């Protein structure tokens, strides 16, 4: 390992030492949690600090007659306003998460 590779891998090693979850890229390109130690011989681009999941709430505006989703909006207030303007709609809360 040269100095440049050590510099690139240092944030991952530091996070690993502090108990932060680390992920490794599989041959298929998917990120999975590591179950073993971080390799000093691996390429730094094969490791990352696991992103934290952020929960978000959104609201769908659904047509009562067709069941068609007309829009998804980030707040209940916006969804209620949209439903009022569109008419014949209900507002349905949606929950999900994404990685930051």
Domain span holding position 95: 54-99
Residue range 29-54, pLDDT digits in tens: 999 998 777 777 778 889 999 998 77
- Count: domains in the chain: 2
**Are 14 and 43 members of one domain?**
yes
**Are 64 and 88 members of one domain?**
yes
**Are 24 and 61 members of one domain?**
no
User: Under a CB-based contact definition with an 8 Å cutoff, are residues 73 and 79 in contact?
Assistant: yes
| pTM greater than 0.85 | no
- 3-class SS of residue 75: coil
CA 24, 27, 30, 32 dihedral sign is negative
**Are 41 and 68 members of one domain?**
no
21: pLDDT confidence band, cut at 50, 70 and 90? very high
**Are 44 and 10 members of one domain?**
yes
């Amino acid at each position: 390992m040269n100095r440049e590779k050590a510099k690139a891998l240092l944030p991952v090693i530091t996070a690993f030492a502090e108990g932060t979850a680390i992920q490794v890229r599989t041959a298929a390109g998917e990120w999975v949690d590591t179950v073993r130690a971080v390799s000093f011989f691996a390429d730094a681009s094969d490791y990352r600090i696991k992103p934290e999941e952020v929960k978000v709430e959104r609201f769908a505006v659904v047509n009562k007659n067709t069941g068609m989703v007309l829009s998804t909006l980030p707040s209940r207030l916006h969804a209620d306003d949209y439903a009022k303007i569109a008419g014949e709609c209900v507002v349905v809360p949606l929950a999900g998460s994404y990685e930051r």
